Amino acid sequence: MRDAVTGAVLAELAEYLGEVSNNVAEYRGAIAGLEHACELDPTATVELRLDSKLVVEQMSGRWQIKHPDMRELAKRARAVMPPGQVTYTWVPRAQNALADALVNEMIDSALGGGMTPIRRVDGMSAEDVLAEDIVGSIEVEHSRAVVQDAIARPPRVMVGWADVGAPTFTVMARHGATELSLEKRFSGTGGFDAPLADLGRAQADALAQELLERESIDRIVSSPLLRTRQTAQVIADRLGLSVEIMDGFAECAFGDWDGHTFAEVRDRWPLELDEWLGSTEVAPPGGESFSACQARVLRARGDVVKAYPGERVLVVAHVTPIKVMVAHAVGAPLDSLYRMELPPCSLSTLAWFPDGNASMFSFAEASHMRSLNTPRGV
């Protein structure tokens, strides 16, 4: 285990497993590394670098996990730290020489009758550390954790109770309905780039009128997909603004499921669907996981906040990116997106303060749609 900034070795851990498959050993190594990283700092961002292509692709959600034993090990690995904190990178074995050397050291010890796991922290063997050094280490690590936690987490401030500077508002608008959304079909990046249906254009008109009456939008940002660009342009024409395209706000890619209903996916891909619903790290076949989608959406959020401080930015996007933004603003886990509903052309307003705090001012406002016969949930 290395510090990502300095490259310093923080720990070396090894354990003799007896006769197991290479894949089991790779997974066990990944789990051991994650568990120790979580001990050091449960809020840390961790990159696991492995020369096992299978583990990297399965844990990244690009390959399905068919073997039941591997599935259980994958569940153990995913349970150690929250989704979004861990990424998996494949490296050639030549770049994993220190790990190989540690394996050989453990094997040599085991062949000589020594089955005690290797555990060196900060370059010292665990049994060589004096009791007072352990106490001191705990105090140092506690102090370090407090400092890191203060840096990583924004201060807890009741919204409206302290002057922390003008926030940047992102007014998140879902696009109008398409024929695919009316039929409840998966429709993501990489599939058919569906235009607005007639109902969707009427919804966009109603949304544009609502925003015109509010007189509160400084600029408009849109996902690159056709349905969001069309919705954004209707609003832009009414408000006299231009539209900036930001790729990071595109819908999640649903791969082979694009164009299919949930029932059709359940019938044709039952195992893959269960794994996808069970973990935000798992992607549909040929698609993108919610965790990967979250990473790019939050990068786009950061770009907006940095570029337009103190402004009110209308972001015309899709169900998944909007839910990701809402969850991030209120500190909810990523899997909370399974419990949110967003009607077409609804509005969700989020504030991003200069001190790092955030607040949700509204969610899924849709009263401006009351004159339209809007199918439920599309």
Largest CA distance in the chain: 80
CA distance 272 to 122: 41
Q: Per the residue annotation, which of 251, 272, 275, 288 is the catalytic one?
A: 251
Six token digits for residue 110: 């085991």
Q: Per the residue annotation, which of 12, 26, 175, 275 is the catalytic one?
A: 175
CA distance 252 to 318: 9
Tokens 């050989």 sit at which residue?
104
Nearest partner of 87 among 154, 141, 33, judged by Cα: 33
Alpha helices in 42-96 (DSSP H): 53-59, 68-80
Annotated catalytic, 368? no
Nearest partner of 299 among 230, 250, 363, judged by Cα: 250
Six token digits for residue 90: 């494949």
Cite the beta strand spans of 263-325 per DSSP E: 312-317
Dump the DSSP string for 82-122. Answer: -TTSEEEEE--GGGGHHHHHHHHHHHHHHHTT--PPEEEET
Annotated catalytic, 341? no
CA distance 23 to 72: 13
**Alpha-carbon 357 to chain mean position:** 19
| Residues annotated as catalytic (active site), given as ranges | 175, 251
